[in-house]
Structure 1
Amino acid sequence: MRSEKGSSGLKLRIVLLGEKGVGKSAIAVRFLCGRYLHEYDPNLECCYDKHEIIDGKTVKIEIFDTAGQDVLDNYLKNADAVLYVYSITSEKSFAAAKSFREELLLGDKSHIPVILLGNKRELEQGRQVSYKDGFTLARETNWKFYEMSAAVDTHRINDMVLNLASELLAETKKSNRQRRTWKIKRAMSILNVHIHQPKHSSFPSVLMPLTENKTDPPRSPALPQHPRLANRRQTCPAL
Structure 2
Amino acid sequence: MKTDKRNSGIKLRFVLLGEDGVGKSAIAVRFLCGRYLHEYDPNLECCYDKYETIDGKAVKLEIYDTAGQDTLDNYLANADAILYVYSILSKKSFAAAKSFRDKIVSSSKSNLPVILIGNKRELEQGRHVSYKDGFTLARENNWKFYELSAAVDTHRINDMVLNLASEVLQNRKSNLPRKCSKLKRAMSILNVHINQAKLLSHSSSGSIAENKTQKSPLISLHPRLTERRKTCPALS
Shorter-chain TM range is 0.7 to 0.9
Deviations 1:55-94 (A, max 9, x none): 1211111001111122211111111111000000111110
Q: Partner letter of residue 105 of structure 2? A: L
Counterparts of 2:144 and 2:22, CA distance in 1? 18
The structure number with the bigger radius of gyration is 1
The corresponding residue for 1:140 is 140
Q: Partner letter of residue 9 of structure 2? A: G
The corresponding residue for 2:26 is 26
CA offset at residue 140 of structure 1? 1.1
The corresponding residue for 1:161 is 161
Query: Is the contact between residue 46 and residue 66 of structure 1 (CA under 8 Å) also seen in structure 2?
Result: yes
SS of structure 2 residue aligned to 1:117: strand
Could you say if the C-alpha distance between residues 35 and 180 of structure 1 is closer, same or farther in structure 2, counting changes exceeding 3 Å?
same
The corresponding residue for 2:208 is none
The corresponding residue for 1:206 is none
The corresponding residue for 1:85 is 85
Q: TM-score, normalised by structure 2?
A: 0.76
Could you say if the C-alpha distance between residues 155 and 188 of structure 1 is closer, same or farther in structure 2, counting changes exceeding 3 Å?
same
The corresponding residue for 2:56 is 56
Counterparts of 2:176 and 2:8, CA distance in 1? 16
CA RMSD of aligned residues (A): 3.4
Could you say if the C-alpha distance between residues 125 and 59 of structure 1 is closer, same or farther in structure 2, counting changes exceeding 3 Å?
same
- Superposed, 1:180-195 pairs within 5 Å as 180-184=180-184
The corresponding residue for 1:69 is 69
Are residue 15 (structure 1) and residue 7 (structure 2) matched? Answer: no
Counterparts of 1:21 and 1:73, CA distance in 2? 22
Structure showing the higher helix proportion among its residues: 2
The corresponding residue for 1:235 is none
Unmatched 5+ stretches in structure 2: 1-5, 196-201, 203-221, 229-236
Counterparts of 2:28 and 2:157, CA distance in 1? 9
Could you say if the C-alpha distance between residues 89 and 52 of structure 1 is closer, same or farther in structure 2, counting changes exceeding 3 Å?
same
The corresponding residue for 1:103 is 103
Unmatched 5+ stretches in structure 1: 1-5, 195-199, 201-212, 220-239
Q: Partner letter of residue 166 of structure 2? A: S
CA offset at residue 33 of structure 1? 0.5
Could you say if the C-alpha distance between residues 181 and 87 of structure 1 is closer, same or farther in structure 2, counting changes exceeding 3 Å?
same
SS of structure 1 residue aligned to 2:121: coil
Q: Partner letter of residue 181 of structure 2? A: T
The corresponding residue for 1:40 is 40
Query: Is the contact between residue 8 and residue 59 of structure 2 (CA under 8 Å) also seen in structure 1?
Result: no
